[in-house]
Amino acid sequence: MNLIQPAQRRFHFAVAVIGVLALLFATEGCSTAKTAPPTTAPPQRRDLAAMKAQQAALTPSQVLELLRRGNERFASGKPEPRDMLHDRQTTAAGQYPQAVILSCIDSRAPAETIFDAGLGDLFNARIAGNIADADLVGSMEFACAVSGAKLVLVMGHTSCGAIKGACDHVQLGNLTGLLQKIEPAVVSVHDVPGNRNSKNTAFVEAVSEANVRLTVQRIRDLSPILRDMEKAQKIQITGCIYDLATGRVQFLSSNPQ
């Protein structure tokens, strides 16, 4: 009897261990099923012929809407998956961008990222304070009249260092001349109470918007080519403000032509 009891105890212990292990495996399986990441959509694999056809078919207002949707994806943290290696290889043979963006050089405001755009989607010109001169406008003429872009978008942003510098009348080497080109925007803002310098956030943001609107008009003034294309409704020239804090873009109503 004493010889049988230890064997029985070992048998019962083994059964108990097997039961515990089975329960653990079952629980682990359930946990894995609950925490498995959601299935993501496959990355886009872009085709150059399709990009060309899309550019030709789009209207300026449709391009603007695509930028709205792209910014919404960016701001909500849901960018489209992209096969950048494939896109690079595809666009090496040609380009059919839909818009040209004139934006500030601020490191926090890259247009392609803000609009969730891929390689070959946007021409992007960047300069402090998103000002326009003859050289930049010449680039826009190439983008629209030669390469088929349908939209010219001037993008300012909140808390812009160049705008603050212009509000404070900063002088620093070649930057002095650049900031003087923003001075008309500073002078044009009259309805913001408080100090007229960079310490007044409301004043700075008002100047930033005024600067965008004046730059839109300056593009028209500098380029009869773009102005005529806009009158013929082949392109649209407009502006927007990017909010560094929220990631969202506020599109401005177009200035009168």
Q: How many residues does the chain have?
A: 257
Question: What would you report as the CA-atom Rg of the chain, rounded to the nearest whole angstrom?
Answer: 29
Query: What digits encode the pLDDT tens for the residues 201-253?
Result: 999 999 999 999 999 999 999 999 999 999 999 999 999 999 999 999 999 98
Look at residue 10 in the predicted model and tell me its pLDDT.
Answer: 60
Q: Alpha-carbon distance 23 to 26, whole Å?
A: 5
CA pair distance 131, 129, nearest whole angstrom: 5
State the CB neighbour count (10 A cutoff) for residue 7: 9
In degrees rounded to 5, what are phi and psi of residue 18? Answer: -60, -40
Q: How many helices (H) and strands (E) does the chain have?
A: 11, 5
pLDDT for the residue 42: 79
Helix (H, G, I), strand (E, B) or coil at 162: helix
Q: Where does 48-251 sit in CATH, by number? A: 3.40.1050.10
Which residue's entry shows tokens 């965008």? 212
The C-alpha atoms of residue 60 and residue 66 are separated, in whole angstroms, by: 10
Where are the domains positioned within the chain? Answer: 1-36, 48-251
Low-confidence ranges of the chain (pLDDT < 50): 1, 3-4, 17, 20, 24-33, 256-257
Give me the pLDDT at residue 9, please: 58
Q: What is the pLDDT of residue 32?
A: 47
**pLDDT value of residue 3:** 46
